Amino acid sequence: MRMMNKAKLMFVMAGTAFALSAQAQLRVEISGVGSNQIPVAIGPCANEAAAPAQISEVIKADLIRSGMFKIIDVTPTTNLTQVDATSLKSLGVEALAACAVQPAGNGYFEVQYRLISTQGKDLSALKTQVPNQYGRLAAHKLADDIYEKLTGFKGIFSTRIAYVVQQGKQYRLEVADADGENVIPALTSTEPIISPAWSPDGTKVAYVSFEQRKPVVYVQNLVTRQRTVVANEKGNNSAPAWSPDGKRLAVALSKTGNTQIFIANADGSGLHRLTNGSTIDTEPQFSADGQYVYFTSDRSGGPQIYRMSVNGGEAQRMTFGSSYNISPRVSADGKTLAYISRRDGGAFQLFTLDLESRQEQRLSDTTSDDSPSFAPNGKYILYATQNGGRRSLAVASTDGRVKQRLSIQAGNIKEPTWGPFMK
């Protein structure tokens, strides 16, 4: 067993300079499960009351929300060095996650954790001290570890999401944990806020604000709150999208008349035009390798998704499944394109396209979807939709089997974007 003493989990997150918001937390509802759920045994952490958060409950909620795991409750183990998981093999369990906590003084608590297969093999182990205010984050990190060790894919429970809440005449850009907890306000305005987009390092968000009575693109540092105007050209300034290295932004501007795609440095300098059509080109999105920009254009008569080299040249049409396809988003591995397609009598629904096989898949069963955003591991897509006359958020697994709905009691929630892995 490899025991990491005081291993470095990511406990310092962007946004910690904010006071926690008193706004309502997101309510998460889950439906569907993965095709092959993994049975994993988890019991309460020994001495769990010593932690500022119920570590084991957060871990279980994360794994259940993923749809990938079947949780088997077991009694807590006080001595992690003597844990035996082989006795659980007869129950069909594949692994046991055991943990223990204790106060460490000076605003810290200590957490120990082991993940053991029912074959008797240690899959992971950790011993570290955690600041009290990051109890939930510590639990999310452990859930990430379980997810990765048992599925082979990185977990996304310690990532964050951003979205816009509209309540009456007030708009709020908010940041929250992926499970909807720890809501933090980034911007409050009486004018609309749209199109938030995370920087690749998770420290900044680009967005469009109408506070100057016109759409202007800003970049805001989530720690210092410092804002930079990236695009305030004549006409509309919209749809910011980061390059994978975080050094550039693609934006849609109408400064030349019809809306076209431009690329600028992240501070707004070096603005230059990418597309030069006579039609509308908008909603840019960099490819995973930064070599292409995907965008929506009506150059074929109706809105479709195209791809162009960042150096310019001919645009390649990517979507053909219907006469109306918009809002391209590319997975981190560059293999899958998510977008909104209008079909079945006018329903706007979330689709994906395998960029190699050209196979399409419909992921949503709602009829008014928009703003798709991939989880950083590429296994889930966050999007906005209509439910009961109110805008809410939803999450679908890319195989279509698992669905979640995220809502608040009052107001509309929309314009979601899923943050990156924190380094």
What local confidence, expressed as pLDDT, does residue 18 receive?
34
What local confidence, expressed as pLDDT, does residue 24 receive?
53
- 301-323: string of b/e by CB count within 10 Å (b at 16+)? eebbbbbbebeeeebeebbeeee
Q: Where are the beta strands (DSSP E) in 24-121?
A: 27-31, 38-42, 69-73, 95-105, 108-117
Q: What is the CATH number of the domain that holds 42?
A: 3.40.50.10070
Of 105, 121, 151, the residue that ends a domain is 151
The answer to whether position 204 is within a domain reads yes
Of the candidates 410, 378, 409, the one whose C-alpha atom is nearest the C-alpha of residue 396 is 378
Alpha carbon 226 to its chain's center: 23
pLDDT along the chain (423 residues), means of 10: 34 33 59 78 92 93 94 84 86 93 94 94 94 95 98 97 94 95 94 98 97 96 94 97 98 96 97 95 97 97 97 97 97 97 92 97 94 97 89 93 82 94 84
Of 123, 151, 179, the residue that ends a domain is 151
What local confidence, expressed as pLDDT, does residue 35 receive?
63
What local confidence, expressed as pLDDT, does residue 420 receive?
97
Whether 166 and 143 share a structural domain? no
Of 151, 177, 204, the residue that ends a domain is 151
Whether 344 and 236 share a structural domain? yes
Residue 302: give the domain boundaries: 160-418
What local confidence, expressed as pLDDT, does residue 182 receive?
92
What local confidence, expressed as pLDDT, does residue 75 receive?
85
Whether 102 and 188 share a structural domain? no
**Total domains in the fold of the chain:** 2
What local confidence, expressed as pLDDT, does residue 387 receive?
78
Whether 322 and 227 share a structural domain? yes
Q: Are strands 95-105 and 38-42 parallel, antiparallel or unpaired?
A: parallel
Q: What is the CATH number of the domain that holds 378?
A: 2.120.10.30
Q: Where are the beta strands (DSSP E) in 268-367?
A: 272-273, 281-286, 292-297, 304-309, 316-317, 325-330, 336-343, 347-354, 360-362
Helix axes 135-151, 55-66, angle to 10 degrees: 40
Whether 349 and 368 share a structural domain? yes
The answer to whether position 5 is within a domain reads no
Token pair, residue 362, equals: 């419909």
Query: Which residues lie closer than 8 Å to 213 by C-beta, 6 or more apart?
Result: 191
What local confidence, expressed as pLDDT, does residue 25 receive?
64
The answer to whether position 8 is within a domain reads no
Whether 291 and 197 share a structural domain? yes
CB 159 within 8 A of CB 419: yes
Whether 55 and 143 share a structural domain? yes
